[in-house]
Structure 1
Amino acid sequence: MKQSSSVTLQLLSLASLAATTQAELGKIHWKGPCNLTNETDMSGSAPLICGTLDVPLDYTDSGSNQTLTLDLAKWPATKKSTADPILMNFGGPGVSSFEGLGLYGEEFQAITGGHHDLIAFNSRGVGNTIPFSCYNDATSKQLVASLAPADGTASDTARGEIWAQSANLAQACYAQNNQTGSLIGTSFAARDTMQVLDALQGKDALLNYWGFSYGTTVGAVIAAMFPERMGRVALDGVDNPTEYFNGHNPEAVMDADKIVQGFCLGCVAAPDLCPLAKVYRNATELGSAIWNMLETLKFNPIPIPSQNGAVTYSDVRATIYEALYLPSSWPVTSEFIGAVLTRNVTVLGNPRVYPLLKSYGTSASLTSSSSEISTGITCSDRALSASMKDVLPYIKTRASLTKIAGDGSNTEMRCAQWNKKMYAKERYTGDFDVKTAHPALILSNRFDPTTPLAAAKNLSATFEGSVLLEQNGYGHTTLSMPSLCTAKAIRAYFTNGTLPAAGTICQPDVPLFTNLTYKDVWPKNFQRTVESAEDAKILKALMSVREKKSRGKFQ
């Protein structure tokens, strides 16, 4: 099949890299300050330094001299007596590490103590590093996204429609990426990480690593492949690595509905911030109203004449599920739910609100490039062809575990029809019964909508000597709710390797529904003891992360 011009240019770029001399391999070229966009650099003064590193293009081909250029970013240590660097992985798959480090580098330096350079690189498929896209333009993406429901629970015919559209998507992805799609998997990401470490500190260095969500999968694979080289490895929001590679992981959303219950409990406890609390007498009544609202929308979408469109079940379910990731978005989410319950077309048709909720409800989630990349990496890693009959049991199991998270049809059906020529060239096929050189720190919220506490417990049980720190909070990863207890444990771990006592449970320092900022919380309303000026700095950083994360959520 004739390749698009973008793919041709991509291949020419890769071919030109083959001329790189072996002397240049393993050498980082720091180029100076990054040119960040306003979206990435919210502070306006991020001291992010950018560089490049050439690594092998294909680790499975020892006879090839073709290389790939990784784009790196560094947030330099803010204090003298610099310690070993920490490599950061912000998850995804498909998330820009530059955005993560650019947004939160200052806060992460405050949390870790400021003595470490924080390093991140864009993984394969992201940015300029083997760009992965299935469509050439935004219009094509929008069209494809509108052709099938967001998940199989939308109607009796939804799963069939998704299966058909997933076949089209898989073919489009192959047409655009058939020469490079097998080079973007997690095992290669693990090897790239070690190449970065080698270039930073040498081939005997130990890895200090902080990974979130899918970044925990990358971290687990690195630990399994290179256990003798693990230094201080913190994994927050564990995505079950065994299920990621070998299964379908319906249990990933096992706690999602419990977070809806938490939303309802938090709402009735804060009526001034949650208008719904003035309508419903208790959390049980509010929860019933939300579930009934979703069922009603299946058969009675809300017409929005001003947009020539409608608000559907898929739109609302997906928007609420997205909000479960971050409790700081819950006050405005309660307003959104109120508008749906009252079928308020003025609010729902608002030019800022309507496109956002529609973006959450689109079938293939193709409106962002990171979603395409996520599909590419996930399906290439899974490498499992299947029929619709094969995947339906897993889809139905997930649907039986949750009403709010959907049934996962899109991911299951795309991967089932993924072209075998784009399966990852290297897939980790071993187990995760690992004894690392230094024990790992595993972290998890008690209620996480996509990486449940159970997955963290399972991984900690197989990582010999590791300790699980549980945070008694809601949302995705422990950073979703500020906890000085958790942050101080992370700092102690990266500073001197100290692990918290087994069974430690940290409490969040803000309620579920709050409009408090750092200035409000400190010092008058802070509920726990701040023991030092450093504690105050950590708290300020945690509140800043919370506030930055909440921007763009239904705003």
Structure 2
Amino acid sequence: MRPPTLTSKLLSVASLAALTHAELGKIHWRGPCNLTNETYMSESGPLICGTLEVPLDYTDSSSNKTLTLDLAKWPATKQPVAEPIIFNFGGPGENSFEGLGLYGEEFQAILGGHNDLIAFNPRGVGNTLPFSCYSDSTSRELVSLQAPGDGRASNTALGEIWAQSANIAQACYALNNQTGSLIGTSFAARDTMQVVDALKGKDALLNFWGFSYGTTVGAVIAAMFPERMGFVALDGVDNPAEVLNGYNAQKVVDVDKVLEGFCTGCMAAPDLCPLANYYSNAANLEAAIYMMLETLKANPIAIPEIGGVVTYSDIKSTIYNALYLPSSWPETSELILYVQARNTTILGNAEVYATLKSYGESASLVSSAKEAGTGVTCSDRARSASMEDLLPYIRASETLSQIASDNANGDMTCAQWNKNMYAKERYTGDFDVKTAHPVLILSNTFDPITPLAAAKNLTATFEGSVLLEQNGYGHTTLSMPSLCTAKAVRAYFANGTLPAEGTICQTDVPLFTNLTYADVWPKSFQRSVESRDDASILRALMSVREKMSRRRR
């Protein structure tokens, strides 16, 4: 979709301001969504779309200007209908319609089918105060070519990233200077509570399932409105205090352990991981991957047929992103083999090459979602800095992980963010709160971006909350199917039952597997399926895994 111009944004806000106050607080369900995005149009099922008018600026009580939130609902499939659950699929910058459209059927199976599942696009995404820094893909591609995706790519990389980040920050300001301060986590929290008010009334409790950055939104909501928390599950926990106020080097603390898991899983499944046939053990394979990356720094792979070059940043970033989802690991092992062999036929394939570049270059070639995420992150952080100020945080990230990004791109863009786009409201309090109902916090043992340590930290601050650890790899517990985890989540949303302190759930498939959702019977899995309902949940979990893998592929 072509990003709206500044003029169209202002006209939209002006027209919304003409609405009467009677329109505030009412959801207007239009009917079936009729989604056209090919990513999820065939998956959207019974998704119903609607709109809700909310205050444009929560810090200006004298203004009657409003903003239209686009909402989606996957209706309950069973009676009686229980309280609705609001989803936040993370990002920031993720399209919530895509998440609910893709996985709504599976979430109903996991949760039992008695809840309406609700999602809305946060500010900056879709039609909700859209945030984009470039008006066309050509401009976006041009800026992505100006610097590598990682500051360790060369001894000049950090300087190149700093200069490129200045250009990105200025481009974002040029297109969003009137609206950029109206996005951010605090306003997302208030918008969420407006949706709860519209669904169930002013005193209703929030039932919420947030993933990744959605856990930061959920944590801020809980801190701002603790007395209105119903059943709140936070899966794949950011460290919210660091996300909002600092640089969060901690987020990469477990990445290299995930790569170790990749190598161990590969050696255990040579039929699915061809790399296993070339190494005697996982440690040797891991060392070879790091050696391959170091070689690419001085010897990138020329692709003469298309005039392209495959670089250190391309391959390192692609491997890092693959660590989010173990179901993508068999293909990742093939990619590593092609790079080691310097196979220009495969690496020069148009689709493969475009994919590598979309991960490896510091601005995405394919969408404005990253820009919306940058807008939220930098507006929340609201902190100018010099390159010298940032170097300790960048070096800390480098020390914690060899394979993860050093986050120089994101930090340097935020350091040069225009102050006029700092979020009008920023939550600066702590998270030492007692919520009306205890929070359920979930984390994989080895997560490449939201580590278990962050989940433990947040659990310690929310009084009465319980951490459910899933002994698996990848980003959020959905990255690996676990019937144990899913049943615990269902019990929590059904009646508030929390797992026992110290509970660790096992996963139901190995790290490298070609099992699909059709293989849900006990003989195919590590542990037994006890009932037809268990089989239905496991089938849904495998379907989520398959769809996530398809998107990442």
SS state of the match for residue 84, structure 1?
Answer: coil
SS of the residue corresponding to residue 116 of structure 1 reads coil
TM-score in terms of structure 1 length: 0.98
**Counterpart contact for 1:255–1:449, Cα < 8 Å:** yes
The one-letter code sitting in structure 1 at the alignment partner of 2:104 is G
Q: Does 1:485 align with 2:484?
A: yes
Distance in 2 of aligned mates of 1:277 and 1:466: 42
1:211 and 2:210 are equivalent in the alignment = yes
Counterpart of 2:519 in 1: which secondary structure?
helix
CA distance in 2, matches of 1:310, 1:171: 28
Hey, what's the Cα distance between the residues in 1 that align with 2:526 and 2:168?
51
Partner of 1:329: 328
Which residue of the partner structure matches residue 180 of structure 2? 181
Task: State the shift of 1:245 in Å.
Answer: 1.1
Instruction: Find the aligned partners of 1:113 and 1:498 in 2 and give their Cα distance.
Output: 15
What is the alpha-carbon distance in structure 2 between the residues aligned to residue 326 and residue 551 of structure 1?
11
- The question of whether the paired residues in 2 share the 8 Å contact of 1:145 and 1:367 is answered with no
1-structure distance, mates of 2:44, 2:59: 41
Residue 83 of structure 1 corresponds to 82
1:364 equivalenced with 2:330 (yes/no):
no
Q: Cα distance, 1:45 vs. partner? A: 5.7
Matched, 1:353 2:343: no
Q: Pairwise mapping of residues 451-470 of structure 1 onto structure 2 (< 5 A)?
A: 451-470=450-469
Could you tell me how far apart the structure 2 residues matched to 1:137 and 1:13 are?
21
Q: What's 2:155 paired with?
A: 156
Following superposition of structure 1 onto structure 2, how do residues 23-62 of structure 1 map, counting pairs within 5 Å? Answer: 23-37=22-36, 39-41=38-40, 43-44=42-43, 46-62=45-61
Shift of residue 351 of structure 1? 1.8
Residue 384 (str. 1) matches residue 383 (str. 2)? yes
**Are residues 1:106 and 2:105 paired?**
yes
Alignment identity in percent? 76
Q: Does 1:191 align with 2:190?
A: yes
User: Which sections of structure 2, spanning at least 5 residues, go unmatched?
Assistant: none
Per the alignment, in what secondary structure is the counterpart of residue 470 of structure 1?
strand
Structure 2 distance, partners of 1:158, 1:248, is: 20
Residue 458 of structure 1 and its aligned partner are, at CA, apart by 0.1
Task: Please tell me the residue identity of whatever aligns with 1:181.
Answer: G
Shift of 1:517: 1.0
Number of residue equivalences: 551
Q: What is the correspondence of 1:263-278 to structure 2 with a 5 Å cutoff?
A: 263-278=262-277
Shift of 1:346: 1.1
Counting only pairs closer than 5 Å after superposition, residues 380-419 of structure 1 correspond to structure 2 as: 380-419=379-418
Shift of 1:496: 0.6
User: Aligned equivalents of 1:169 and 1:339: distance in 2?
Assistant: 33
Give the deviation of 1:307 after TM superposition: 1.7
Cα distance in 1 for residues equivalent to 2:470 and 2:520: 20
Contact 1:517 1:543 in 2 (8 A): yes
CA RMSD of aligned residues (A): 1.1
SS of 1:91's partner is coil
1:258 is matched with 257
* Range with greater deviation from structure 2 (204-213 or 401-410): 401-410
CA distance in 1, matches of 2:188, 2:518: 40
Once the two structures are TM-superposed, the CA of residue 366 in structure 1 deviates from its matched residue by 5.4
Return the alpha-carbon distance in structure 2 between the equivalents of residues 38 and 276 of structure 1.
Answer: 37
Distance in 2 of aligned mates of 1:485 and 1:151 = 38
Q: Which amino acid aligns with 1:499?
A: L
Do the aligned residues in 1 keep the contact of 2:211 with 2:237 (CA within 8 Å)? yes
Q: Specify every segment of 5 or more residues in structure 1 that has no aligned partner in the other structure, as ranges.
A: none
Q: What's the CA shift for 1:526?
A: 2.2
Cα deviation, 1:4-40, whole Å, max 9, x if unaligned, reads: 9811111111111101100010000000000123634
Alignment check: 8 A CA contact 2:254 2:447 kept: yes
Shift of 1:207: 0.4
Q: Distance between the aligned counterparts of 2:64 and 2:351, measured in 1?
A: 50
8 Å contact from structure 2 (residues 44, 101) kept in 1: no
Q: Name which of structure 1's ranges 36-45 and 326-335 shifts more when overlaid on structure 2.
A: 36-45
Q: Which residue of 1 aligns with 2:436?
A: 437
Contact preservation (8 Å) 2:71, 2:118: yes
Question: 1:373: which partner in 2?
Answer: 372
Whole-Å Cα distance in 2 between the matches of residues 307 and 263 of structure 1?
31
1:525 positional shift: 1.4
Structure 1 residues 414 and 38, CA, compared in 2 at 3 Å: closer, same or farther? closer
Q: Quick one: distance in 2 between partners of 1:432 and 1:306?
A: 55
